[in-house]
Amino acid sequence: MSIRFKLAELRLEKERQERRTIPWKEVAEQTGISVSVLSNLASRTRRHSTNTRYVEQLMRYFGCRSFEELMEMEDEREGQS
């Protein structure tokens, strides 16, 4: 099992709510997290470790009230035959 960040889904929901496109660059500027780290965290194929400061910043930016809103445990075998 591994942790999967729900950044892509959260960004899409924020875009829908605010009725505008939100580039990763804007998220990076607001959170202090580089675009490359955000991209790695949002990737479903790459694994990336992070720190609690980044988790806190992302939760604040996306308005998450629980860790489950930001990330989930995912079975690495899902989707394999």
The mean per-residue pLDDT over the stretch 40-56 comes to 87
> Which has the closest alpha carbon to 5: 70, 75, 73?
70
pLDDT at 75 over 50: yes
- Contact predicate 50/41, CB 8 Å: yes
Q: Which fold has domain 2-66?
A: 434 Repressor (Amino-terminal Domain) (1.10.260)
User: Closest Cα to residue 7, out of 76, 18, 19, 33?
Assistant: 33
Q: Is the pLDDT of residue 73 over 60?
A: yes
Question: How far apart (Å, rounded) are the C-alpha atoms in residues 16 and 37?
Answer: 23
Residue 48 pLDDT exceeds 90: no
Q: What would the mean pLDDT of 56-71 be, rounded to a whole number?
A: 96
Name 16's Cβ contacts closer than 8 Å, sequence gap at least 6: none
pTM for this model (two decimals): 0.84
pLDDT at 77: 63
The yes-or-no verdict on residue 81 having pLDDT over 50 is no
Q: Where are the domains of the chain?
A: 2-66
